[in-house]
């Protein structure tokens, strides 16, 4: 059984109280608490000064008696957050906490992240439901704003507004509403000087988890599904042989589709934010499927197989009247994957999923030691 979050009833790796849970499972956990009316606290990184393990927007759900699902650090603050979450629930009031993780000032423990981290802790309630809406409900995304600091008596820390189809700031005081940006890419912080004081807002764009469409139903598809799921993707598997394209064969996929290569676009509504990997190991199927995918706006197209095979695919498509232009060549990755050197099924899958992540994040997949850029995007 799979819900829109991708949470399956038969998952073998139960992520309860797990800081490694990807964002999609944090969202599913939050929705579960909202639906059951069980008390929980939402912890969100809203600002980082310096270096830290997680960037603004990282979330964790902490429930009484639970270690939490998700992470706002590498685990070094779990006990502190659990204690603070109890206080937040007891007070039924949000609070902003600052954690100093610099080596020389972190309780003498030498945590070493060299940063100051602001974490907003809020009792999970109905105002959060638009933020944790299902992937279908989120569609193209929405803007959410929450007060993280305020000495304006009109606004308390933790008050939220979300653009769920109308004006994101309908209920905000006009002087604060005017400061809520509509074009946030990921996250931002806005400070507003009002007639009643100063207000700081944390603003984020809430989007559905990214989707990876894997075309193929052979045994080597399952490791790709497993790793992509663990990395936070919604995964759709498309098979062209009905008996092999089943939910039982791919239990960690969100959706399994059986169709024909010529009907691929009818079976899957591809979007520009999607990534697709073709790994049918059947030349005719790949030829037809590649032509179908190139007729969509999908942003990443990985094709399994050696370079000479792709050249034959390109020639075959040309004979069908489908020319692969420069724009298409930029989004095609053939052979698919980063050069990690492994050859086992999970090593190959690691190479594939790593490349999809790198391309989505605008990275080239090189060694971090060779880069002068921050490990994480500053606006992440």
Per-residue pLDDT of the chain (380 residues; tens, 9 = 90+): 334 444 443 333 333 447 788 888 999 999 999 999 999 999 999 988 876 667 889 999 999 877 788 888 765 677 788 889 999 999 999 999 998 876 544 444 545 556 788 999 999 999 999 889 888 888 778 889 999 999 988 899 999 988 864 444 556 788 888 888 888 888 999 999 887 889 999 999 998 899 999 999 999 999 999 999 999 999 999 999 777 899 999 999 999 999 999 999 999 999 999 999 999 999 999 999 999 999 999 999 999 999 999 999 999 999 999 999 988 999 999 999 999 998 999 999 999 999 999 999 898 888 888 776 666 554 43
Q: Six-digit token pair at 173?
A: 């005081």
Fold of 211-360: Rossmann fold (3.40.50)
pTM for the structure as a whole:
0.83
Spatial separation of the C-alpha atoms in residues 247 and 255, rounded to whole Å = 7
User: Among positive and negative, which fits the CA dihedral 364, 369, 371, 374?
Assistant: positive
End-to-end CA distance of the chain: 32
Closest of 40, 44, 13 to residue 29, by C-alpha: 40
DSSP, res 164: S
User: Among positive and negative, which fits the CA dihedral 239, 243, 247, 251?
Assistant: negative
Spatial separation of the C-alpha atoms in residues 275 and 210, rounded to whole Å = 8
Neighbours of 130 (CB within 10 A): 18
Residue ranges per structural domain of the chain: 23-128, 136-206, 211-360
Spatial separation of the C-alpha atoms in residues 77 and 43, rounded to whole Å = 11
Q: 287: Cβ–Cβ under 8 A, 6 or more apart, which residues?
A: 261, 313, 316, 317, 320
């Amino acid at each position: 059984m799979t819900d829109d979050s991708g949470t399956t009833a038969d998952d073998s790796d139960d992520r309860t109280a797990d800081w490694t849970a990807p964002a999609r499972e944090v969202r599913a956990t939050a929705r579960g608490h909202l639906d059951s009316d069980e008390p929980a606290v939402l912890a969100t990184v809203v600002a980082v000064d310096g270096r830290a393990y997680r960037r603004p927007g990282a979330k964790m759900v902490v429930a009484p008696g639970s270690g939490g699902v998700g992470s706002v650090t590498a685990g070094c603050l779990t006990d502190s957050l659990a204690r603070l979450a109890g206080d937040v629930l007891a007070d039924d009031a949000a609070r902003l906490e600052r954690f100093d993780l610099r080596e020389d000032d972190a309780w003498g423990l030498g945590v070493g992240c060299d940063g100051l981290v602001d974490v907003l802790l809020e009792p999970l309630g109905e105002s959060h439901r638009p933020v944790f809406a299902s992937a279908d409900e989120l569609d193209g995304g929405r803007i959410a704003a929450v007060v993280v600091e305020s000495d304006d008596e009109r606004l308390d820390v933790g008050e939220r507004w979300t653009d769920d189809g109308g004006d994101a700031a309908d209920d905000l005081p006009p002087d604060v509403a005017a400061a809520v940006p509509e074009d946030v890419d990921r996250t931002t912080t806005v400070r507003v000087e009002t007639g009643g004081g100063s207000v700081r807002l944390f603003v984020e764009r809430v989007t559905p988890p990214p989707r990876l469409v894997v075309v193929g139903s052979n045994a080597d598809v399952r490791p790709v599904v497993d790793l992509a799921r663990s990395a936070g993707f919604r995964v759709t598997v498309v098979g062209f042989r009905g008996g092999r394209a089943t939910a039982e064969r791919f239990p960690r996929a969100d959706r399994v589709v059986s169709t024909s290569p010529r009907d691929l676009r009818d079976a899957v509504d591809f979007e520009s934010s999607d990534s697709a990997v073709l790994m049918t190991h059947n030349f005719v199927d790949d030829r037809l499927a590649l032509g179908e995918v190139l007729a969509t706006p999908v942003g990443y197209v990985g094709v399994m197989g050696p370079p000479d095979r792709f050249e034959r695919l390109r020639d075959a498509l040309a004979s069908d009247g489908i020319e692969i232009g420069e724009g298409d060549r930029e989004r095609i990755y053939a052979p698919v994957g980063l050069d990690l050197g492994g050859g086992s099924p999970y090593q190959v899958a690691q190479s594939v999923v790593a490349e999809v992540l790198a391309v989505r994040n605008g990275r080239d997949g090189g060694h971090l030691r060779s880069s002068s850029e921050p490990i994480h995007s500053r606006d992440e």
